[in-house]
Every structure is written in C-alpha cells, then in structure tokens.
Amino acid sequence: MADIDTDIVIDTEAATTEAPVAVEAPTAEEGRRPRRGGDRRGGDRRGRTGDRSRAPRVRSEFDQKMINIRRVARVIAGGRRFSFSVAIIIGNRKGKVGVGLGKAGDTTLAIDKAVRDAKKNLITVNLKKDNSIAHETSAKYCAARVTLMPAPRRGLVAGSSVRPVLELAGITNVVAKVHSGSKNGLNNARAAVEALRSLKA
C-alpha cells in the first residue's frame, strides 16, 4: 500500500476571499434626502415657506377698558347653558367715548361684540382748552346718579367706573361725585356718559 502524503496545505485566505463586486455610486437625484417636514423649496421643519410674511396688525384708534365680565346661565330643557357678559368702555382720549355690552359663549366673541356696541354708542364731548368741561352737569341712569364739576388745576378726581369714562374721553381737572348707592359699574358708567352728553358748547 502506497504511503499517503498527509501534508496538504490549504490556502484559507484565498478560499474565503470573494471577488469584489462593483457597486454603482448613487446618482445626485437618489442621494438627495427630503427635508423633514417639507420639500426643498424653502420650507422649514414645520412645512412653512420662507417667503410668506405676516401682515402688520393695524392698531385701533380707541383704547378700551373692561368694566366687568360675568358668567351668566340660561335654563333650558336639558339643563343650563352658560355664556359670558362683558361691559367695555372705549375712547380715543380726544373727546370721544362710548360704553358697550356684549354677550356670547366665548369671552373673545363677547369682547368683540361689546366693542362694536360701544362704537355704535360713541359720543363727542365738548372740551375746553385745558381738557376740562365748561360747566357742572349731572345725570341719572336707572339707580345711578352722577355729578361732574369742573375743578381747575385739581386733576381728575373720580371713582368707580366713572373714572375710566373720563380718562378715555381725555378729560382732566374734573371732580366726579356718585350720589347713589348703586354698585353697578355699567349703570354708573352710562350715567357718566349721559352727563357728558348733556354738556353745552
């Protein structure tokens, strides 16, 4: 029997090495990844375009002061339905002032309604050169009674909701007296407006 040569050398490195496979480079179109939240036309992560500009908000000529805000309820068949009632004073501090009331299911809508109602009820006050009134005047609205008296070099002396009415009308050097015991700010403000309406030039 012939001797078998057992010394067999196996080239493991050559056996396990495979021929290199040619890999095609990605084209420019395939390698482009879409941006997160939008395309490449100037959008940011939220998908907004960069060329849009927000229109500037126009400031109203009237300043406003809220007297009170109440939540009111109306009883219906299924229970109670709630809404909000808002009373607002507006004025341009140059002689125009008005009081409005608005009611809606949302506070924002109620405020908008009150402002529109106040603009409908605007009055123009006859002022002197020192932004005071020409003479003493008084008025009554429901249970509220208000008296306005000119007071040179004393500034504005007023309380309750009468003070914001006079401030937004641009009136100074006036003393205001609320003679009634009414705590209703809306009625006091409307009484002050009626007093200003009765002024003579």
**Number of folded domains in the chain?**
1
The more confident residue out of 155 and 61 is: 155
Residue 34 in domain: no
pTM over 0.85? The answer is: no
Q: Report CA-CA distances (Å) from 200 to 126, 128, 147, 196.
A: 7, 11, 15, 9
Residue 107 sits in a domain whose CATH number is 3.30.160.20
Residue 114 in domain: yes
Residue 134 in domain: yes
Q: Does residue 15 surpass a pLDDT of 50?
A: no
pLDDT band at 126 (very low <50, low <70, confident <90, very high): confident
Q: Is 111 helix (H, G, I), strand (E, B) or coil?
A: helix
DSSP-derived secondary structure letter, 95: S
Which residue range(s) make up the domain with 177? 63-197
Whole-number pLDDT of residue 181: 80
Residue 124 in domain: yes
Which residues, listed in sequence order, are joined to residue 151 by a DSSP beta bridge? none
Closest CA to 188 of 156, 154, 162: 162
The count of residues in the chain is: 201
